Amino acid sequence: MPRVELRFQWARLGDLSGVEFHAAMVQRVAVFVVEQNCVYQEADTLDPVAWHLLAWSGGQLAAYLRLADPGTNYPEPSLGRVLTAPAFRGQGAGQQLLAEALRRGDQLWPGQANRISAQQYLLKFYQGFGFAPVSEVYLEDNIPHVEMLRPG
């Protein structure tokens, strides 16, 4: 598969420009609200306290996630809002994004696990990065999810 080349940008919300955060929110709303047809609170109280990871391809935002500090979403660090913009899917952006986030998380909080609320259809994707399911399937905003833990 062709592999897209990405430039990673890590920042707290206050260190992103308005244009950068807008680009992230456009993709988050496009994917999680519009594409997944889900009415829920997309911008929330984690945004001001999380790390944001923007993956750029030229001037376009190709992929994005946020990394919540321990004690904010879960007791452990927690990845969320993992997305690849539709135009960049199937080119390894999701793989590179996850690898970068886990590398950074291990650097920030050595030895700490990462706990996520994963959409069930991506179980295998996350298992490939060392996450294991630790809950039954549950509905979050009407979408089937599984809690998964990656040991530190």
Q: Is 78 in the site for ligand COA (CB under 6 A)?
A: no
Stretch that binds ligand COA, among 8-16, 44-52, 101-109, 114-122 (CB under 6 A): 114-122
Q: What one-character DSSP code corresponds to residue 121? A: G
Q: Is 82 in the site for ligand COA (CB under 6 A)?
A: yes
- Smaller CB separation from ligand COA, 92 or 105: 92
Residue nearest to ligand COA (CB): 94
Helix (H) or strand (E) holding 129: none
Report CA-CA distances (Å) from 68 to 12, 39, 51, 52, 106.
Answer: 11, 22, 6, 9, 13
Distance, CA of 61 to CA of 55 (rounded, Å): 6
Residues near ligand COA, by CB under 6 A: 31, 82-84, 89-95, 118-119, 121-122, 124-125
